[in-house]
C-alpha cells in the first residue's frame, strides 16, 4: 500500500485510541478524587504532568484547577492531545484516505467528531464530564468494532492495529503512572498503604476490574500492576498490546517469529522479549515509575522506527515530503 | 400531500405542463407524491440532509478557511426524462464525443481540418488550452477524452441544447451516484417500481474505460486516481471514485518517475503505474513540462506519457476542444469528421474574434450573455439583461482589448423542476450534466447531475455559488430501453 496511506491509517487509529485514553485518564482521576478531602480532591495537576503537556498548559493557564485541567484535556484546540484535537486529527486523516476506509467506519468517525464538537460548546460537559467521557469511550469501541468487522484484515488493517496497540500500551502505562503520582511518591512505599478503593478505581478506568477479579480475586497493588503491565490475555495490558503490535508488524513484513527484517522489528522484539521474561517482582524492585519511564522511551523509539521503515519512502532519490499540507502526522508522544 | 397550487413560471417546467397537469413522464411520480401524508416529504428531506452530513458528502468552497467543507445540498424531487427523449440525447452525446476525439487527435497530428480550411488556424493556435507539448502524441486507442461531462439545458421552447463541453476534469459524477443512493434510502417506496435506468455501474464502466486504454503490451494494468489533495473542491469525488473502483488514490508526492516508468511509493518499495486518471489540470501535471512552480504534479511524467509507457486520462491537451470559441465550431467539426448533422444543437454563439459578430455583440450587450472562453465554474460571466450600464461598459472594454477571449450567447431560459422550498413546491431552474466514457466502448450514463439554482429566479446552478442538486431519472418505459453502452467499433461501422 502507499506509504502515505499507511501513515494516515496508523495515525488515524492512534488518535482515536488517544482520545479514548484521555477520556479514561479523566475518569480515573475523577474516581480517585471524588469524595476525597481537599488535599486529594484538588489533585488535577498530576494529569498534566503525566501527559507531558505541561509546557503548553502553563502558557495558557495560571493554576491547576479542576475546570482548567478539564478544559485543556477535553476541548483545548491549542492542546494537540485534547479529545477535540484528537477527534479532529483522526477525521482529517480519515478524510485523506477515505477510499480505503469502509463507509460504516467513516460515518462512525464523522459522527464521533460531530459529537465531540457539539459537546465542546456545552457548559454542562465541563461540569459533568463523566457522561461525555463515556460517550468518547463508546465511540472508540464502535470504531474499533466496525473496523474489525468490515475491513479486510490486510496491510491497512494491520497498520491500523499497530497504531492502536502502540498508543494503548503507552497510555495504559500512563494510567498506571497516574496512580504512582498520586499515591505512591516513592518506590519503597509500594506495598505499604493499601487502598482497595483507589486501586479499584484504577482498574475500572482501564475497564479491567471484572477481568482482574476473575484472575486474582482480592485487590492487591502488585497484582494490579502485574495485570495492567504484564498480563498476556487482557487486551489493555502493556504486554498484550505490544505482542499484538509485533504480530501485525510480522504480518506486514512477512518475517517469522524470533527474527527481524528492520529496525522496527528489532526494537519491538527486544522490548517484547524483556516483557516476556520479566516479573512484577523485578519491576517493583526496580521501581514502578522508573520501569514505566524506560518502557515509554523504548516505545517512542519503536514509533520512530515505524516512521522510518514504512512511511518515509527511501526507494526514491527524492526526499519525500510527508503530506505536510494535511495533518501533523508526527505528533510527538507526550 | 397537496401539490396545488404549483405555479410553474414562464420557463419550461419538466414535471408539469402549462395547464397544471403532470407531463406524461411525471404522471406516475406525481400520483405517488399525492399519496404521501402531509409533512412526510419535509420529514424525508430532513432525514436526507442528516444522512448527507453523517456520510460526510461534502464539497470545499475556495476562499473559505482551509479545509472547510460544505454539505452537498440535495433536493428530494427528481428530474424525470422519458426513454424516448433520452435516446436522442444519448446519440447526440455519442456523436459529439466521437467527433471531438477525432478532432483533438487531428489537431495534434495531421491538422487536416485546418488544412481543409474548415476551422481557422489562428483560432486553434490562440487557444490557451492548446498544449504544443502534445504535438505528435497519439494516446492508446486514439482516445483523448476518456471522461466527458456535457452541460445540457432546455430552453423555453422545450429544445435541449449543449451549453458546454467539459473535456478536462469534469466533476460531479460522485454526487450523481450518492444522490441516487440517498434517494433509495430515504424515498424508497416512491422510488420502487418506477423503472428508473440504473447508474450504479458507472465506477465499473470507468475502470474498464481506463484499463482499456492502458499502454500497449501491458497485460495486467494498474490504474490510479491522481488528486491535488484534500483542499481541492472535488476531493470528495476523488476519494469516492478511487474507493468505488478499488484503485489507489495518489497525490503527486506518492508518484515518482524512475527508469522510464511511473511508480508509486508503497510500504514495500516502488510499484508501477500504467494508467492515471488525473484530476489535476494540465498545467500542474508535470513541473518539468508545464508550470515549473507547481508542487502538485510529478517530474517528467509527460516524458513517460509521450513514450507511451503511461496513459493519462484525460490526455493532456484535450482542453483545446472545450475552449468556448472552438465550441462554436462543433457542428462543423461533426460534419467534417462524421459527415453528419449535429443531433444536439449548440446554443447560437457569437465569436468576438470575428469583427462582424463582435460588432453585433457590442451593440446588443443588454440582451446577451457574455462569457470568457476559458473559465469554468461560472466565473467572469456577464448576464446582459440583468447587468448595469457600468458592468456592460467594463465588459465592452474587455472585449475590445482581447476579442479572442470572449463569446456571447442569447439569454436562455433554463427549464424548471418542482423543488421543496420550506413547505411548498416551487419551480427552480435546472441544468443537466450527463457523463460520457470513451474507451474501447462509448458509455453514456443514463441520467447525470441535475443541478438546481435554489434561489428564486436564479439561473446560477454552480454549487460554488449556492446551487443544489437532484436525482435524475431516465425512465425505461416499455420496449424503449436506453442502451448506455455501445462498442465504438460497432458504432463506427453503423456510421460508416
- For the stretch A157-200, pLDDT in tens is 999 999 999 999 999 998 888 766 665 545 555 444 446 777 77
C-alpha dihedral sign at A12, A18, A20, A22: negative
A289-293, B332-336, B457-461: least confident range:
B457-461
Task: Report pLDDT for A66.
Answer: 87
A234-243, B221-230, B373-382: least confident range:
B373-382
Q: Which of A111, A318, A320 sits opposite B54 (nearest CB)?
A: A111
C-alpha dihedral sign at A32, A35, A38, A42: positive
Q: In chain B, which residues have their Cβ closer than 8 Å to the Cβ of A323?
A: 251, 253
Report if residue A276 sits inside a domain.
yes
Whether B71 and chain A come into contact, CB under 8 Å, resolves to no
A125-129, B250-254, B296-300: least confident range:
A125-129
Q: Which of A1, A320, A325 sits opposite B266 (nearest CB)?
A: A1
Distance from CA of B57 to the nearest CA of A (A): 10
Partner-chain contact B56 A106, CB within 8 Å: yes
ipTM value > 0.90: no
- Select the residue from A325, A326, A328 to test the B interface by mutation, using most B Cβ atoms within 10 A: A325
Task: Report pLDDT for A322.
Answer: 32
**Is A106 in the same domain as A173?**
no
Distance from CA of A93 to the nearest CA of B (A): 10
Partner-chain contact B265 A103, CB within 8 Å: no
Between residues B346 and A66, the one the model is more confident about: B346
Number of domains in chain A: 2
Report if residue A189 sits inside a domain.
yes
Residue B164: closest CA among B154, B146, B150: B150
Whether B249 and chain A come into contact, CB under 8 Å, resolves to yes
- Select the residue from B262, B267, B288 to test the A interface by mutation, using most A Cβ atoms within 10 A: B267
Task: Report pLDDT for A184.
Answer: 54
Residue A161: closest CA among A266, A260, A244, A95: A244
B67-74: average pLDDT: 73
**Is A62 in the same domain as A167?**
no
Whether A312 and chain B come into contact, CB under 8 Å, resolves to no
Whether B198 and chain A come into contact, CB under 8 Å, resolves to no
Q: In chain B, which residues have their Cβ closer than 8 Å to the Cβ of A160?
A: none
**Is A305 in the same domain as A157?**
yes
Q: In chain A, which residues have their Cβ closer than 8 Å to the Cβ of B71?
A: none
Residue A24: closest CA among A110, A94, A92, A86: A86
Distance from CA of B142 to the nearest CA of A (A): 30
Q: Report the distance separating Cα B225 and Cα A282, nearest Å.
A: 54
Task: Report pLDDT for B377.
Answer: 57
Mean pLDDT by 10 residues, chain A (334 residues): 94 96 84 62 75 87 90 93 95 90 92 92 84 94 96 96 96 81 54 62 82 87 91 95 97 92 95 95 90 94 94 51 34 36
- Select the residue from A3, A99, A311 to test the B interface by mutation, using most B Cβ atoms within 10 A: A99
Q: List pLDDT tens digits, range B197-221.
A: 999 999 999 999 999 999 999 999 9
Q: What is the pTM of this model?
A: 0.84
B326-354: average pLDDT: 95
Task: Report pLDDT for B62.
Answer: 58
Partner-chain contact A2 B250, CB within 8 Å: yes
Please name the residue that has the C-alpha cell 488525473. Answer: B278
Q: Which of B235, B256, B267 sits opposite A310 (nearest CB)?
A: B267
A61-70, A325-334, B21-30, B472-481: least confident range:
A325-334
Whether A115 and chain B come into contact, CB under 8 Å, resolves to no
- Is the predicted pLDDT of residue B104 greater than 70, yes or no? yes
**Is A308 in the same domain as A219?**
yes
Between residues A217 and B60, the one the model is more confident about: A217
Whether A15 and chain B come into contact, CB under 8 Å, resolves to no
Q: Which of A2, A99, A159 sits opposite B239 (nearest CB)?
A: A99
- Is the predicted pLDDT of residue B10 greater than 50, yes or no? yes
Partner-chain contact B266 A3, CB within 8 Å: yes
Whether B253 and chain A come into contact, CB under 8 Å, resolves to yes
Task: Report pLDDT for B449.
Answer: 95
Among candidate residues A120, A151, A182, the one where a domain is terminated:
A151
> What percent of chain B clears pLDDT 90, i.e. is strictly above it?
68
Partner-chain contact A100 B56, CB within 8 Å: no
Among candidate residues A127, A151, A175, the one where a domain is terminated:
A151
Partner-chain contact B265 A4, CB within 8 Å: yes
Partner-chain contact A6 B55, CB within 8 Å: no
**Burial grade of B398 (CB within 10 A; 0-12, 13-18, 19 or more):** middle
C-alpha cell at B133: 507539448
Give the nearest chain A residue to B237 (CA atoms): A99
- Is the predicted pLDDT of residue B380 greater than 50, yes or no? yes
- Count CA atoms within 13 Å of residue A57 on its CB side: 25
**Is A82 in the same domain as A93?**
yes
Whether A135 and chain B come into contact, CB under 8 Å, resolves to no
Task: Report pLDDT for B295.
Answer: 83
> How sure is the predictor about B22, in pLDDT bands with cuts at 50, 70 and 90?
very high
Between residues B419 and A183, the one the model is more confident about: B419
**Burial grade of A155 (CB within 10 A; 0-12, 13-18, 19 or more):** buried
Domain boundaries, chain B: 12-128+149-195+328-347+430-495, 352-411
Task: Report pLDDT for A327.
Answer: 39
Q: The domain containing residue A297 runs over which residues?
A: 153-312
**Is A73 in the same domain as A113?**
yes
Whether A2 and chain B come into contact, CB under 8 Å, resolves to yes
Q: How many CB pairs under 8 A join A and B?
A: 80
The CATH architecture of the domain made up of B352-411 is 2-Layer Sandwich (3.30)
- Select the residue from B253, B288, B298, B301 to test the A interface by mutation, using most A Cβ atoms within 10 A: B253
Whether B265 and chain A come into contact, CB under 8 Å, resolves to yes
Q: Report the distance separating Cα B20 and Cα B49, nearest Å.
A: 29
**Is A27 in the same domain as A6?**
yes
Say if residues A169 and A241 touch (Cβ distance below 8 Å).
Answer: yes
Report if residue A8 sits inside a domain.
yes
Distance from CA of B467 to the nearest CA of A (A): 24
At residue A217, the 3 state secondary structure works out as: coil
**Is A208 in the same domain as A225?**
yes
Partner-chain contact A323 B253, CB within 8 Å: yes
Task: Report pLDDT for B146.
Answer: 97
Report if residue A295 sits inside a domain.
yes
Partner-chain contact B267 A252, CB within 8 Å: yes
Q: List pLDDT tens digits, range B109-128.
A: 999 999 999 999 999 999 98
- Chain A contacts in chain B segment 211-230 (CB below 8 A): 225, 229-230
Distance from CA of B266 to the nearest CA of A (A): 4
Amino acid at each position: 500500500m502507499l506509504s502515505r496511506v499507511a501513515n494516515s491509517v496508523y495515525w488515524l487509529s492512534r488518535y482515536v485510541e488517544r482520545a479514548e485514553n484521555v477520556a479514561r485518564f479523566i475518569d480515573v482521576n475523577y474516581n480517585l478524587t471524588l469524595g476525597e478531602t481537599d488535599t486529594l480532591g484538588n489533585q488535577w495537576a498530576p494529569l498534566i504532568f503525566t501527559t507531558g503537556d505541561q509546557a503548553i498548559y502553563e502558557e495558557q493557564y495560571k493554576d491547576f484547577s479542576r475546570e482548567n485541567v478539564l478544559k485543556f484535556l477535553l476541548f483545548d484546540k491549542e492542546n494537540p492531545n485534547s479529545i477535540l484535537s484528537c477527534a479532529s486529527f483522526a477525521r482529517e486523516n480519515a478524510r485523506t484516505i477515505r477510499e480505503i476506509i469502509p463507509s460504516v467506519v467513516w460515518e462512525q468517525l464523522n459522527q464521533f467528531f460531530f459529537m465531540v464538537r457539539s459537546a465542546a460548546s456545552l457548559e454542562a460537559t465541563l461540569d459533568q464530564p463523566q457522561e461525555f467521557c463515556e460517550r468518547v469511550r463508546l465511540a472508540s469501541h464502535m470504531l474499533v468494532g466496525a473496523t474489525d468487522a468490515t475491513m479486510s484484515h490486510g496491510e491497512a488493517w494491520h497498520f491500523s492495529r499497530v497504531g492502536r496497540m502502540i498508543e494503548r500500551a503507552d497510555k495504559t502505562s500512563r494510567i498506571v503512572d497516574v496512580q504512582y503520582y498520586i499515591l505512591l511518591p516513592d518506590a519503597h512505599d509500594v506495598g505499604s498503604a493499601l487502598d482497595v478503593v483507589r486501586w479499584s478505581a484504577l482498574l475500572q478506568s482501564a475497564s479491567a476490574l471484572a477481568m482482574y477479579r476473575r484472575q486474582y480475586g482480592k485487590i492487591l497493588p502488585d497484582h494490579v500492576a502485574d495485570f495492567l503491565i504484564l498480563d498476556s490475555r487482557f487486551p489493555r495490558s502493556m504486554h498484550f498490546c505490544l505482542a499484538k503490535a509485533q504480530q501485525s508488524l510480522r504480518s506486514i513484513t512477512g518475517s517469522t517469529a524470533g527474527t527481524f527484517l528492520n529496525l522496527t522489528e528489532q526494537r519491538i522484539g527486544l522490548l517484547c522479549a524483556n516483557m516476556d521474561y520479566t516479573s512484577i517482582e523485578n519491576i517493583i524492585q526496580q521501581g514502578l515509575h522508573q520501569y514505566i519511564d524506560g518502557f515509554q522511551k523504548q516505545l517512542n523509539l519503536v514509533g520512530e522506527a515505524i516512521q522510518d521503515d514504512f512511511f518515509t519512502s527511501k526507494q526514491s532519490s527524492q526526499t519525500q515530503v510527508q503530506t505536510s499540507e494535511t495533518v501533523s502526522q508526527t505528533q510527538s508522544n507526550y | 400531500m397537496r401539490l396545488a397550487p404549483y405555479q410553474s413560471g414562464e420557463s419550461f417546467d419538466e414535471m408539469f405542463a402549462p395547464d397544471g397537469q403532470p407531463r406524461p413522464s411525471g404522471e406516475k411520480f406525481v400520483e405517488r407524491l399525492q399519496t404521501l401524508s402531509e409533512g412526510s416529504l419535509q420529514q424525508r428531506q430532513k432525514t436526507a440532509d442528516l444522512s448527507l452530513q453523517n456520510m460526510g458528502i461534502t464539497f470545499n468552497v475556495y476562499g473559505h478557511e482551509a479545509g472547510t467543507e460544505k454539505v452537498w445540498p440535495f433536493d428530494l424531487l427528481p428530474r424525470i426524462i422519458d426513454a424516448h427523449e433520452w435516446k436522442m440525447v444519448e446519440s447526440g452525446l455519442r456523436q459529439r464525443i466521437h467527433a471531438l476525439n477525432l478532432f483533438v487527435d487531428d489537431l495534434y497530428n495531421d491538422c487536416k481540418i485546418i488544412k481543409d480550411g474548415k476551422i481557422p488556424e489562428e483560432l486553434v493556435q490562440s487557444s490557451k488550452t492548446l498544449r504544443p507539448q502534445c504535438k505528435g502524441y497519439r494516446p492508446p486507442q486514439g482516445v483523448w477524452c476518456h471522461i466527458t461531462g456535457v452541460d445540457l439545458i432546455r430552453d423555453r421552447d422545450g429544445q435541449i441544447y449543449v451549453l458546454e463541453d467539459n473535456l478536462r476534469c469534469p466533476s460531479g459524477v460522485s454526487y450523481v451516484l450518492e444522490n441516487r443512493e440517498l434517494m433509495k434510502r430515504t424515498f424508497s417506496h416512491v422510488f420502487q417500481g418506477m423503472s428508473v435506468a440504473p447508474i450504479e455501474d458507472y465506477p465499473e464502466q470507468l475502470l474498464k474505460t481506463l484499463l482499456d486504454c492502458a499502454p500497449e503490451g501491458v497485460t495486467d494494468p494498474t490504474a490510479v486516481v491522481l488528486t491535488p489533495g484534500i483542499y481541492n473542491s472535488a476531493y470528495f469525488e476523488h476519494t469516492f471514485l478511487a474507493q468505488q473502483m478499488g484503485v489507489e488514490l495518489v497525490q503527486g508526492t506518492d508518484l515518482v518517475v524512475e527508469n522510464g516508468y511511473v511508480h508509486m511509493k508503497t510500504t514495500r518499495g516502488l510499484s508501477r503505474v500504467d494508467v492515471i486518471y488525473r484530476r489535476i489540470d494540465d498545467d500542474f501535471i508535470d513541473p518539468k513540462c508545464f508550470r515549473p512552480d507547481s508542487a502538485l504534479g510529478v517530474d517528467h511524467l509527460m516524458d513517460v506519457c509521450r513514450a507511451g509507457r503511461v496513459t493519462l486520462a484525460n490526455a493532456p491537451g484535450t482542453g483545446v476542444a472545450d475552449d468556448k470559441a472552438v465550441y462554436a465550431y462543433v457542428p462543423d467539426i461533426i460534419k467534417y469528421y462524421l459527415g453528419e448533422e449535429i443531433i444536439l444543437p449548440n446554443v447560437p454563439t457569437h465569436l468576438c474574434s470575428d469583427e462582424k459578430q463582435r460588432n453585433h455583440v457590442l451593440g446588443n450587450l443588454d440582451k446577451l450573455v457574455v462569457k470568457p472562453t476559458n473559465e469554468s465554474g461560472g466565473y467572469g460571466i456577464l448576464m446582459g439583461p440583468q447587468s448595469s450600464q457600468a458592468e456592460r461598459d467594463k465588459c465592452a472594454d474587455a472585449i475590445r482589448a482581447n476579442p479572442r477571449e470572449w463569446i456571447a450567447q442569447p439569454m436562455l431560459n433554463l427549464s424548471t423542476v418542482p423543488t421543496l422550498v420550506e413547505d411548498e413546491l416551487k419551480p427552480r431552474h435546472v441544468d443537466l450534466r450527463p457523463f460520457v466514457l470513451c474507451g474501447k466502448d462509448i458509455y453514456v450514463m443514463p441520467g447525470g447531475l441535475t443541478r438546481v439554482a435554489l434561489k428564486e429566479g436564479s439561473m446560477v446552478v454552480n454549487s460554488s455559488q449556492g446551487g443544489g442538486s437532484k436525482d435524475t431519472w431516465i425512465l425505461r418505459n416499455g420496449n424503449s430501453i436506453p442502451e448506455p453502452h455501445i462498442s465504438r467499433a460497432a458504432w463506427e461501422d453503423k456510421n460508416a
